[in-house]
Amino acid sequence: MRLIIAEKPSLARAIAEALPGGARREDGALHAGETVVTWCLGHLLEQAPPDAYDPAFKQWRLDHLPILPTRWQLSPRPKARGQLAVIRKLLKQAREVVHAGDPDREGQLLVQEVIEYLGWKGPVSRLLVSDLNRPAVQRALARLEDNACFQPLYRAAESRSRADWLYGINLTRAWTLTGRQAGHDGVLSVGRVQTPVLGLVVRRDAEIRDFKPYPFHVLWADLAVAGGQLRAWWQPGENHRLDEQGRLLERAPAEALAAQLPGTEGKLTSLESRQKRQSAPLPYSLSALQVDAARRFGLSAQAVLDICQRLYERHKLITYPRSDCRYLPEEHLAQARSTLESACGSDDTLRGWLAGADFSLRSKAWDDKKVGAHHALAPTGKPAELERLERAEADVYRLIARNVLAQFYPPLVVCEVKAEFTLQGECFRAGGQEMLQPGWKPLFTTREEAPPLPPLTEGEGCRVTACEVEDRETRSPEAFTDASLIKAMMNIARYVDDPVVRRTLREHDGLGTEATRAGIIETLIERGYLVRQKKSLRATRLGTGLIASLPEAASRPERTALWEQRLTAIAERDDDPAPFLASLIEDLHGLLGSADANRLRQAMATAQGEAAAAVSKRRGAVGKSRRGRGATGRTRRKQRTKA
């Protein structure tokens, strides 16, 4: 008997349906001739708790820390024993086993740890399924690989699991026990990913709270030129008081110049015209989709992940969704036309986009060298009856299909024009762009980014028809949203201060994984560290106090991003996991030594005071705004501009 072990029941059903002769269900498995397909229910096993290593560890005590297992153990999850018994029984009858976990690091771990836990010593093949439709599964079944080729991926996943246990168990116990000494009754959870994510939000909230706006001033002039009208902006020189972004901090120079401008004639002294070609955005990874869906439809990251899972498992409309890749296999290009015609034919919007596609084009999205264990999200080709889907499901599906269809549109071509005028001896600049070829752009928006300038010739004259000084004010950074926080987790190097580490992380960017980022946000909310205020994510007093009480290294992204770099080296280059875990244990000793009840008590008190001050500041701003709306005297136009 050949036994196929799938990661979850939906994948097992898809595999069984692709086998010849059909399958019958019996005792937690699907039987199809000489092949039996069974399944896990997500992780059937988990790292054993501390008291499995020593019963004394059931009681939380600081003098037990750090807890460092010498022989790692796994334990069945509470609801997994029945399915584990099914797999154990089937393994005794099997002559070969096929590992059918999802095509990623965690999928490799999830099934292989079960196979090894149950003591199987025979041959194991690897089945990689990223599309649950029958033809795709049949193709995957026809090209099984040796599971031994995936041992580095397994070791990386196993190392990640053990490292997370070491880090989370020890630091959570240390800070919870210290918290009790400081008067906090409850668990203070610390994790290698969730805590740096919380740190991002806490630091952003502090920037917003401590931000002090200041005014600056701009001067524009409307100019009549031979070809029409345009607006140009004064570029004050260094002889004026400017901030670091070149903004004018004193109004008087702008007023003095504005008084001289009406009716003044000047000259176009510099004209630069450049044609730019821009290829279509690549197909989506999960995180890129979560960012766009949050901005367009207000969906949380977790909602987008849940929708994608339904589109993949229940509706079978998209390929494997938990992907960090934005490229597609080159072999998919030959079937792209038939796949998209089938996938998009029943929806008016998709049908309109499909009609404009040119399937003779080939974009950079088709690249085997950039496709790893899985590829970008794409339609499977199953006809999509979008009227039968929930509205959010249909919205997300259209985004996924659109980004693949866009690969068969020509590039966007624009002509960017930059003009400099001299008026009263001062420099004024104007800019605009003209769309020469819309290409893929109409699939994404009908709005032009910048209006074109009228026809211009270098050296031609101009005349000022109007001018005005505008008073503006710097604006604080914006609070994180689901979209911006996911994007920050994807591009974490931007939040790293050390230039050497930052350069390294650009090659290995990412805090968390495609599969975990949405869950991290929800976990922080459930544990009371974050709260949603409309679309914004803000840190609570508890979250702010926890970050203030931790060593800075525990709440910054450098450590966990470098972890991912080490894990990638284990997975891709077969590096030895032992030095990685040894380095972590060394770090743990230092981190545990910094747990301090007085520091935690002070951090919580400070966080409470800051929260009260922030509420008072917001109330004051609201009151000021209401009084301003009721005023009847002279008003000055103020436009808030991001600092």
Q: Which residues of 603-633 are buried (b: 16+ CB within 10 A; e: fewer)?
A: bbeebeebbeeeeeeeeeeeeeeeeeeeeee
In three-state secondary structure terms, 639 is: strand
SS3 readout for 552-590? HHHCCHHHHHHHHHHHHHHHHHCCCHHHHHHHHHHHHHH
Q: In what order do the strands lie in the sheet with 530-533?
A: 480-481, 536-539, 530-533
Instruction: Count the helices and strands in the chain (H runs, E runs).
Output: 19, 19
Alpha carbon of residue 327 to chain centroid: 16
Q: Quick check: is 214 catalytic?
A: no
Single out the residue of 586, 587, 581 nearest to residue 156, CA to CA: 581
Rounded Cα–Cα distance for residues 429 and 15 (Å) = 63
Question: What phi and psi values does residue 409 have, to the nearest 5 degrees?
Answer: -115, 150
End-to-end CA distance of the chain: 67
Return d(Cα 208, Cα 478) in angstroms, integer. Answer: 7
Which of 552, 514, 546 lies closest to 530 in space, CA to CA?
A: 546
> For residue 413, what are the β-bridge partners?
277, 437
Q: Going by DSSP bridges, is the β-strand pair 96-100/35-39 parallel, antiparallel, or unpaired?
A: unpaired
Question: Catalytic one among 154, 284, 312, 320?
Answer: 320
Orientation of helix 151-181 relative to helix 597-630, angle to 10°: 90
Cα three-residue angle 491-497-499, rounded to 5 degrees:
90
Measured in whole angstroms, how far is the alpha carbon of residue 47 from the centre of its chain? 27
Long-range contacts, stretch 509-514, CB < 8 angstroms, 24+ apart: 509/561, 510/324, 510/561, 510/564, 511/193, 511/196, 511/197, 511/557, 511/560, 511/561, 511/564, 512/193, 512/197, 513/105, 513/106, 513/322, 513/324, 514/285, 514/286, 514/287, 514/322, 514/323, 514/324
What are the structure tokens assigned to 45, written together? 């096993």
Distance CA 322, CA 304 (A): 11
Q: For residues 362 and 327, is the Cβ–Cβ distance under 8 A?
A: no
Supply the DSSP string of 287-345, one letter for each residue.
HHHHHHHHHHH---HHHHHHHHHIIIIIS--BS--------B-GGGTTTHHHHHHHHHT
Paired residues of 38 in beta bridges: 5, 29
Distance CA 531, CA 521 (A): 10
Report the distance separating Cα 395 and Cα 381, nearest Å.
Answer: 17
Distance from C-alpha of 387 to C-alpha of 455, rounded to nearest angstrom? 48
Side-chain-facing half-sphere of 198: CA atoms under 13 Å: 36
Backbone dihedral angles phi then psi of residue 172, each to the nearest 5 degrees:
-65, -45
How far apart are alpha carbons 20 and 39 in whole angstroms? 19
Taken as a whole, the chain contains a residue count of 643
The catalytic residues are 320
